[in-house]
Structure 1
């Protein structure tokens, strides 16, 4: 009997080893099939993704808008450089002349005349009002 129980035990161990090997082989096949399926499906999922496709379109539109703005800036800069190179007169003097024109135009307004106390407007200035603030006559304090 002792020999038969050891033979049964050896047969059971051998059967379990064969079963473990078979299960290990099936596990390897499943893993390799999963990896191959993912390798095939990932590019399709990325290309047809409901999130990635609009995001890619938006990134492309933003890049195009940025390129258009850069071209506009370069166009403006080149036009400015051409005008500076073509002009023989001093730009600083022209700027001073323009500032003087704006200042002279500002002194001809009714507000400037009232601020100087000249009252050179078509409306009457009452005696109890002495200065003009934010478009209104302000009374003496």
Structure 2
């Protein structure tokens, strides 16, 4: 199961930010060498540090979002999560994630209840309907 799904435009933005910070460091290096002033390399290094920190923070948010959604989906399908079809929304996903202790990953060895296929199928359909309704609600809102 892939948890981390970062949209391509965000990966492109990260790449452009990083390449720009590296380019600025190269130019700053030569400027500092020619002018004899170390400030010309210090400021681009600050920019590079900010860029790496920003990308790492954004990557962490995407990772956390993926784990939260996967955990909520798995637990809802297995019947562990008490949410009903009408309660499923982004807020419910995060509530369940916090209630589970904000895990960094989902353990493959955790105990799962025995669930009948028919019940699982019904819950999957209910989850799909709820997420479509949530998406429509968010589209109308914006």
TM-score for the superposition, normalised by structure 1: 0.31
Structure with more relative contact order (C-alpha pairs < 8 Å, separation 6 or more): 2
- Pair member with larger Rg: 1
The structure with more strand, counted as a fraction of residues: 1
> TM-score w.r.t. structure 2 length?
0.31
